Chain A
């Protein structure tokens, strides 16, 4: 039974718990056993909260025994990205500077998960402060892709995606500032959604770039992703950038799974040169399937998308250099260099930040500091903000012609660990197709559409929708998923080597 329990979808797991076929404690234990068995090799988790998970599961079992109605994901285990605070549980953001910090409060996302009876197994690995596309920038060592342990699981949320792909948890929380949910989903054969900006509260999400960051769901199926989306989304008075609007019914959309009569746009500027042949092949195949399912597929041009990457790598470092100023060794986390004579507060800050931040974080803080400096502000940050307007206009014009846009999620399949570590610009190119949605604040989904013939590794397709129309992602995603499942005869993760 335990091996079966880890392979269930979240929807099925919740049904199993609700019907009493298995207890929430048994489900949690099966996943904890799986983590103990495989995470030494995958390294998806930075912290496993065995005691807390079993206690939360026992509460769900007690509620059920008392005849209480259970929420849709009650008793389902989840992996939480280590950028989200959980009261009393170590939260590092993949950085030395927060080593040992135990937040005194829950993020709104964490609180909503707890309220819904979701069982939080532990905190997942990530690039430091969510900057990276490989998890190699974690201070605690990289996560390994379950499809090939020598390869990257994507980033920054590689830990969450790998945990889901390795059957260590059926669902996980990620955060997406430039593709950190979608690109890991693509390279691990899982599903991930970046909701519309403002749909999910950022309270308790340690900020990287406040105008881009958005938390969202990761899972193995589109329906599971929708169930988690519905659990965490919704207005939060504790986040002033939370959108005071109703959440679209994403679960109903995932169950509808009908693209007949929909207009789907293939983004001309995403998917040509620079994209691996196997990625293009599987993408074209999936687009063909959408046509067969009754959608009308047209090519759409978004002429400013080629400038998105450049704008992003000015806006993100600028916001990051400001947000990360709070890690100064005064109120929480690491403090070093205080014992040497009688140093000033500035000396201690400089020593602490040099010791506590990794290479990529330091690079981006300095880049942002430069972009915001007097004399360069207009040419860099100011121009990037204008490009942001142009990207948003491109989306608006495209969505006048079509209901959703599609593209490959990432230009390549998972690359080897270490391959791009010393070439920041090459690493940044991984996010070329995902960044436009962050700049515009629009939602995006990645779902698996097959394995690249040349390397046998998963390929992701990205669906993009207008702001607050997240339900369209789920409708189209679920339709495509069902058609692919018919074709394959089994979920794609069954093709992954056993760990």
Chain B
């Protein structure tokens, strides 16, 4: 069994930040404990993953898949915006992206 790095509440806070999920502080310890257990179990992959084994990312060896370049109906502007939480001037309206200061 390879060594599993321990997962702290700070690690979980960092992962949550990377994943853009506001995990409440009171749940950080709980997630840390669970992720630690799961990572401890899955770390066994390194037991058999030797250098001479190639990595496999996909079951189908398809590359450069193209379809014929023909015009076909697509979603209308209204359809594309139909599920948007907020719309303005036929566009997705989003919160501010840049800092104001």
Binding site for B on A (CB under 8 A): 101-105, 197-198, 211, 237-238, 240-241, 243, 304, 307, 310-311, 313-314, 321, 325, 328-335, 338, 342-351, 353-354, 357, 362-363, 365-367, 369-370, 373, 376, 379-380, 382-390, 392, 424-425, 428, 439-442, 467
Contact = CB atoms under 8 A, between A and B. Distances in A.
Interface of B: 2, 5, 7, 11-12, 15-24, 31, 34-35, 37-39, 41-50, 53-60, 62, 65, 67-68, 75, 79-80, 82-86, 92, 94-97, 99-100
Contacts of B54: 386, 389
B4 to A, nearest CB: 9
B59 A197 contact: yes
A32 B60 CA distance: 40
A335 B87 CA distance: 12
B45 A345 contact: no
A369 B34 contact: no
A425 B44 CA distance: 14
Contacts of B42: 310-311, 313-314, 380, 384
A353 B16 CA distance: 10
Given A335-B85, A385-B55, A390 B97 contact: no
Given A314-B42, A362-B21, A392 B49 contact: no
B59 A351 contact: no
B49 A387 contact: yes
Contacts of B7: 370
A415 B50 CA distance: 38
Contacts of B96: 342-345
A197 B94 CA distance: 37
Contact of B95 (A311, A343, A384): A343
B46 A328 contact: no
Contact of A311 (B45, B86, B94): B45
Contacts of B31: 362-363, 366
A241 B79 contact: no
B57 A241 contact: no
Contacts of B92: 330-331
Contacts of A442: 59
B15 A369 contact: yes
Contacts of A428: 38
Contacts of B15: 366, 369-370
Contacts of B59: 197-198, 211, 392, 439-442, 467
B95 A314 contact: no
Contacts of B16: 362, 366
A310 B60 contact: no
B79 A104 contact: yes
A424 B34 contact: yes
Given A331-B83, A332-B83, A366-B16, 8 more contacts: A243-B62, A310-B41, A310-B44, A345-B94, A357-B21, A382-B55, A439-B59, A442-B59
Nearest to A304: B48
Contacts of B23: 354, 362
Given A334-B85, A351-B22, A386-B53, A363 B60 contact: no
Contacts of B43: 310, 379-380
18 contacts: A198-B59, A198-B62, A329-B85, A332-B83, A338-B95, A342-B95, A347-B95, A348-B95, A353-B21, A362-B31, A366-B12, A366-B15, A366-B21, A370-B7, A382-B49, A387-B45, A389-B54, A392-B59
B24 to A, nearest CB: 7
Nearest to B20: A349
Contacts of A389: 53-56
Contacts of A366: 12, 15-16, 19, 21, 31, 35
Nearest to B17: A350
Contacts of A348: 95
Contacts of A310: 41-45
A197 B60 contact: yes
Contact of B86 (A237, A314, A335): A335
A342 B34 CA distance: 35
Nearest to A315: B57
Contacts of A325: 20
A287 B50 CA distance: 36
A338 B62 CA distance: 43
A313 B39 CA distance: 9
A239 to B, nearest CB: 9
A350 B49 CA distance: 36
A367 B94 contact: no
Contact of A321 (B19, B39, B85): B19
A102 B83 contact: yes
Contacts of A343: 95-96
A310 B80 CA distance: 39
Nearest to B24: A354
